[in-house]
């Protein structure tokens, strides 16, 4: 099997660590070789955050480059747009419609581009846009929007449901499990 690439993008503090842990857990349980790569450090201070997940029979490079991602999962619209060049021809994008202004927009030296979902679609990308924040709030907390997106991802991959449920159980602290399972289900049924 050819190596597959997933990219998770967002803003520091949005929970990409948990998302990559859940995906890694699912893939490992299916017997794949897996690599997960992230850059720590400066990115924690509200900067763009990128995580790569790669799986297959044997994975070499831990990073995903332009034109290589089979799936891009994004927590924030501007980051979705920034990640488009990484999408492989025929790849899929799953994005939350949430918008967080970066400092140049806050200070007024740049503008937040509008209608990004339409623009991405007309550029030929297969985009599933989800109001993950609202769904997460329905589940109990805005913080679970990362797990809502995991639900959406699950609906686009052919792994059995129980594998995802197991991964949730292993990656989420018991206290928050019910809530996250709800968030996951809301995403799965989008």
Query: From CA 108, how far away is CA 111, in angstroms rounded?
Result: 7
* Total number of residues that touch another protein (CB under 8 A): 61
Q: Does 161 bind another protein (CB under 8 A)?
A: no
* Minimum CB distance to another protein smaller for 102 or for 188: 102
Residue 86 as a binder of another protein (CB under 8 A): the answer is yes
Q: Are 74 and 10 in contact (CB under 8 A)?
A: yes
Which CB sits closer to another protein, 46 or 160?
Answer: 46
Choose which of 2, 6, 15, 35 interacts with another protein (CB under 8 A).
35
Residue 120 in contact with another protein, rule: CB under 8 A: yes
Does residue 160 touch another protein according to CB under 8 A?
no
Question: Of the listed pieces 87-95, 147-155, 169-177, 180-188, which binds another protein according to CB under 8 A?
Answer: 87-95
The token pair that represents 167 in the structure block: 């991964």
DSSP the chain: ---EEEEEEEETTSSHHHHHHHHHHHHHHTT-EEEEEE--SGGGTTSEEEEEEEEESS-------TT-EEEEEESSHHHHHHHGGGEEEEEEEEEE------HHHHTTSS-PPS-HHHHHHHTT-EEEEE-HHHHHHHHT-GGGHHHHHHHHHHHHS---HHHHHHHHHHHS-GGGHHHHHHHHHHHHT-
Q: Minimum distance between the CB of residue 180 and another protein, rounded to whole angstroms?
A: 19
Smallest gap from Cβ 182 to another protein, in A, equals 20
Instruction: Give the tokens for residue 180.
Output: 């996250």
Q: Which residue, 73 or 87, has its beta carbon nearer to another protein?
A: 87
The minimum distance between CB 30 and another protein, in angstroms, equals 13
30 touches another protein (CB under 8 A): no
Give contact residues for another protein (rule: CB under 8 A). 3, 11-12, 24-25, 28, 33-48, 59-63, 65-68, 78-79, 81-82, 84-89, 101-113, 116, 119-120, 123-125, 142
């Amino acid at each position: 099997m050819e190596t597959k690439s997933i990219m998770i993008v967002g803003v520091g503090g949005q929970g990409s660590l948990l998302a990559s842990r859940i995906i890694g857990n699912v893939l490992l349980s299916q017997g794949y070789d897996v690599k997960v790569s992230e850059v720590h450090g400066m990115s924690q201070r509200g900067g763009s955050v990128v995580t790569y997940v790669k799986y297959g029979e044997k994975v070499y490079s831990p990073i995903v480059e332009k034109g290589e991602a089979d799936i891009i999962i994004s927590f924030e619209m501007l980051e979705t747009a920034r990640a488009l060049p990484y999408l492989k021809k025929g790849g899929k994008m799953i994005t939350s419609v949430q918008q967080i202004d970066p400092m140049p927009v806050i200070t007024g030296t740049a503008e937040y581009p509008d209608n990004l979902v339409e623009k991405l679609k007309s550029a030929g990308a297969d985009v599933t846009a989800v109001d993950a924040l609202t769904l997460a709030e329905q589940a109990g907390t805005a913080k679970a929007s990362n797990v809502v997106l995991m639900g959406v991802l699950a609906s686009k991959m052919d792994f059995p449901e129980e594998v995802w449920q197991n991964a949730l159980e292993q990656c989420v602290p018991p206290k928050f499990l019910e809530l996250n399972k709800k968030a996951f289900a809301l995403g799965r049924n989008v």
